[in-house]
Amino acid sequence: MILTVDIGNTRIKAAVFEGNNALENFVFEKNELEKKIEKILKKFPDCSDLVVASVGSIEKQAFLTFENRLKVHFFTHEDVFPFHNKYATPKTLGIDRMILAGGATLQFPKQNRLVIDAGTCITYDFIDENDNYLGGAISPGLRLRYESLHNFTARLPLLTLEAPDNYVGNSTPQAIHSGVVNGFVYEIDGFIDEYRKQFSNFIIILTGGDAEFLAKRLKNTIFANSNFLLESLSQTYQYKIDND
């Protein structure tokens, strides 16, 4: 039994896995890390490994306290991954993107794959059928768009996510919802269309905190799996153990 922990820039997500089965999922804030992990381990005392991917501000030292109880693995660029990294700056590629690429390679063998993670940022990652990680794109996520409109202007209010009534927003709030939500949806559909021009066939995996909201609004039909990063963490860890 393993406990996987994904430390993003907004929230921490965790899940306990028995083989490929997620037994329970958890979401919490950075300041609750130690307390929450204690609680999870109390509930699942059979966890033998704690596996972490962090792009947030939390480093390996935060997990030292658990090392006398279970095996702690904090993923880094030094680990073995199931793909060939063709990024021009492989050492700066986000560990979350490497884990997503690892999971996509292992779960969908011998095909082109596009992974879209709609989290704090939207990340696009493309792994071709020969398991070459080619790269992708990084853009602001949904909440980041609402927050930056507010933070970098004098007159725009901070709004929370709401589906716009219309493309033609007839008030400040409706104009912001239209711009943020429609811009977000058009961007992703637009990217998918561009990839389709370049690669005839690929599967699309959509994940991240906004995946569910997004999936039903896209022109392209995509199956959303909010748990894909944690599943990938568990699978990439197993791959690492088998190939070290």
Ligand X SMILES: CC(C)(COP(=O)(O)O)[C@@H](O)C(=O)NCCC(=O)O
Task: Give catalytic residue positions.
Answer: 96
- Nearest distance from C-beta of residue 94 to ligand X, angstroms: 2
Tell which positions 26-55 bind ligand X, by CB under 6 A.
Answer: 55
CB 208 within 8 A of CB 119: yes
One of 209, 214, 233, 237 touching ligand ADP (CB under 6 A): 209
Site string for ligand X, 75-114 (x = CB under 6 A): -----------------xxx-xx-----------------
11 binds, among ligand ADP, K ion, ligand X, none (CB under 5 to 8 A by kind): ligand ADP
| Helix spans in 82-209 (H) | 95-107, 142-151, 172-177, 183-198
CB 202 within 8 A of CB 73: no
241 is in an annotated binding site: no
243 is in an annotated binding site: no
Helix, strand, or coil (residue 39): helix
Measured between alpha carbons, how far is 6 from 139 in angstroms, rounded to an integer? 20
Residue 224 CB contacts under 8 Å (≥ 6 apart), including other chains: 206, 207, 211, 212, 214, 215
Comparing CB distances to ligand ADP, the nearer of 112 and 120 is 120
User: Of 64, 65, 99, 70, whose CA–CA distance to 83 is shortest?
Assistant: 99
Question: How far separated are the first and last CA of the chain, in Å rounded?
Answer: 20
- Nearest distance from C-beta of residue 101 to ligand X, angstroms: 11
Q: Can residue 8 be called a binding residue for ligand X (CB under 6 A)?
A: yes
Tell which positions 112-141 bind ligand X, by CB under 6 A.
Answer: 117, 119-121, 123, 138
Tell which positions 137-196 bind ligand X, by CB under 6 A.
Answer: 138
Measured between alpha carbons, how far is 53 from 157 in angstroms, rounded to an integer? 34
Q: Which residue carries 């095909």 as its tokens?
A: 111
* Other CB atoms within 10 A of residue 18 CB: 13
Q: Can residue 117 be called a binding residue for K ion (CB under 5 A)?
A: yes
Stretch that binds ligand ADP, among 33-41, 69-77, 208-216, 235-243 (CB under 6 A): 208-216
96 is in an annotated binding site: yes
Binding residues for substrate: 87, 94-97, 172
